[in-house]
Amino acid sequence: MIVGIDLGTTNSLVAYYTDDGPKLIPNRFGKNLTPSVVSMDEDEQIYVGETAVERNLLYPGSAASVFKRDMGSSKKYKLQNKEFTAEELSSFVLRALKEDAEKYLGEEVTEAVISVPAYFNDARRRATKMAGELAGLKVERIISEPTAAAIAYGLYQNRDHARYLVFDLGGGTFDVSILELFDNILEVRAVAGDNFLGGEDFTHVIENLFFEAYPELDRLSMDNKTMNHIHKQAERMKKSFTDEKTAVMTCTIGEQAYEYKLSLAQYEDACSELFDKIRQPVKRSLSDAHIRLADIDKVVLVGGATKSPVVRRFVSKLFRTIPDTNINPDEAVAMGAAIQAAMKERVDSIKEVILTDVCPFTLGTEVVREWEEGYFENGVFCPIIDRNTVIPTSRTERVYTAHDNQKQLRVNVLQGESRFAANNLSLGEILVNVPAKKAGEEAVDITYTYDVNSILEVEVKVVSTDEVVKRVFKGRDVDMSEEEIKARFEELAYLKIHPRDREENKYLLYLGERVYEESLGDMRYVIEQELHKYEKALDTYDNGKIEQAKAEFKKFLESIDEM
């Protein structure tokens, strides 16, 4: 039997398919949700779920949690005297789910469909698959959480043609996906999200408000047990807003009790920065899918954090519609994964549907760009497969030698959205030999082929000799988070800009870079040309030329914004 697993940041679930539809499998405590928490005692005994949570309350710092955010990285979590990666900790959670399923079903479970956030990159998806294998499971498919939720809602059975937006706000990650149904194909049109935004951040808002109310309290000097206590009380306050307009939390610190009262309206106002962070991926996904908000037929809520009234009210205002919440947001993904597992087993009672996915990040290579005769710019990113391209896909780009008598050409395989190669993630390199001729007389065809298993094949063919070099990229662990990568890009972009007397020049360059990152296809080349013209004018130090170029560049950006 193939089970469906929702490996969550805060809680995980396992489900299977029955004649009556998908059904959740309770854990050893009779609960559907298993906390994604791992602890280890002095005898190196591993504890998962509720037991790990309770042990951590008794022995603060003895457990690891929220490690899903670090999947695919080399970050280590220390339990006792041992260190574990995020995928190793995840494997313990998956093994616990596997054991619970086997006990409940009375048979061995060896295969699973496991869900991941739609915005997980290749390294994170492969780490999830590795975690499943470490747990003794053959991972039949890694499915995006919004796609699983769409399946759970039966969206593929509703109409001949429709568009859906899945709003997935879990404990630690946020995804927004736009899906389109036609015939028996459920196609993911666009995905966007934030791997470092979730329900935990909404809890932290209450914690911060509590400390603001009592400035005499120094959180830096508090031990783990006290901080865990405050966090738990903040979590209770957040959940109480489901039924109450005003909530009270009481924390005992030392021998003194601290009471804090908060209204729903105050809490909603304090969450404004988080709502601003949510808006950006929503806007990007609609832009990438070339779909207007009015074209969306249904908005579906997924993830435990969407049960919060402040989140639901925000979503209703943002999309100007009442979202569909017929299925428990905590359970939708696991149930969808179970239905996908049944599809893999070709269960007769399920309508067969073809699921497509998209490439979540742009894939390309590094080139030297000639803007005009004799003027070259090194280290430019050349996109080959744009983000949100439906996969599997294959695209080819022809590039030429940049120097006279060049005997070798280097293909730097890159993943990212910056127009500068150095600011994107390098997956590896391929070197090919080319005949030594004048610059531009030799060429290679670079073909990127990307499949649903997040495997990239790069083929480099020398046009004149037909020599072909192929390499399959399975990626490498990424030490930096998305936030760190973004921060690094902003820093490097600032350093590349020549000193300016007025800040408006910096602002326009940053704005141009953002518009470029949010665009796709031919539009990127047009924006890149306009950026280059503006940068060239800035390099002249001629105020007259700079003012003229600034006016033209602002007009261009305004025309883009009106499209």
Question: HEC states along 492-521?
Answer: HHHHHCCCCCCHHHHHHHHHHHHHHHHCCH
Measured CA to CA, the distance from residue 59 to residue 42 in angstroms comes to: 12
Partnered with residue 256 across adjacent β-strands are 253
Measured CA to CA, the distance from residue 428 to residue 410 in angstroms comes to: 10
Partnered with residue 536 across adjacent β-strands are none
User: E strands, 195-309, where?
Assistant: 246-253, 256-263, 298-302
Give residue-wise pLDDT tens across range 453-504. Answer: 567 889 999 999 999 998 887 543 333 444 543 443 343 233 223 434 455 6
Measured CA to CA, the distance from residue 556 to residue 563 in angstroms comes to: 11
Burial of 32 (0-12, 13-18, 19+ CB in 10 A): middle
Measured CA to CA, the distance from residue 497 to residue 539 in angstroms comes to: 9
- The tokens describing 369, both together, are 């760009």
Q: What burial letters (b/e) apply to 281-313, b meaning 16+ CB within 10 Å?
A: bbebbbbbbebeeeebebbbbbbbbbbbebbbe
pTM metric for this prediction:
0.67
- The tokens describing 61, both together, are 């710092």
- The tokens describing 544, both together, are 């007259």
Cβ-proximal residues to 424 (8 Å cutoff; 6+ apart), any chain: 364, 381, 414, 415, 416, 417, 418
Taking alpha carbons only, the member of 279, 271, 359 closest to residue 315 is 279
- pLDDT truncated to tens, each residue of the chain (563 aa)? 899 999 999 999 999 999 888 999 999 899 999 999 999 988 888 999 999 998 888 888 889 999 998 998 889 999 998 899 999 999 999 999 999 999 999 999 999 999 998 778 777 888 999 999 999 999 988 888 888 888 888 765 655 678 889 999 988 889 898 988 876 677 788 888 888 899 999 999 999 999 999 999 999 999 888 998 999 999 999 999 988 999 999 999 988 999 999 999 999 999 999 999 999 999 999 998 888 888 898 899 998 899 999 999 999 999 999 998 888 999 999 999 999 898 888 766 666 666 677 888 899 999 998 777 667 889 999 999 998 887 778 888 999 998 899 999 999 999 989 999 999 988 889 999 999 999 999 999 999 988 765 678 899 999 999 999 988 875 433 334 445 434 433 432 332 234 344 556 777 887 888 888 888 888 889 999 999 888 888 765 555 577 788 889 989 988 886 65
Measured CA to CA, the distance from residue 215 to residue 106 in angstroms comes to: 55
Taking alpha carbons only, the member of 288, 76, 271 closest to residue 176 is 288
Taking alpha carbons only, the member of 82, 72, 178 closest to residue 124 is 72
Measured CA to CA, the distance from residue 24 to residue 5 in angstroms comes to: 10
Inter-residue contact 552 to 563 (CB < 8 Å): no
Q: H or E segment at 215?
A: none
- The tokens describing 285, both together, are 């996904």
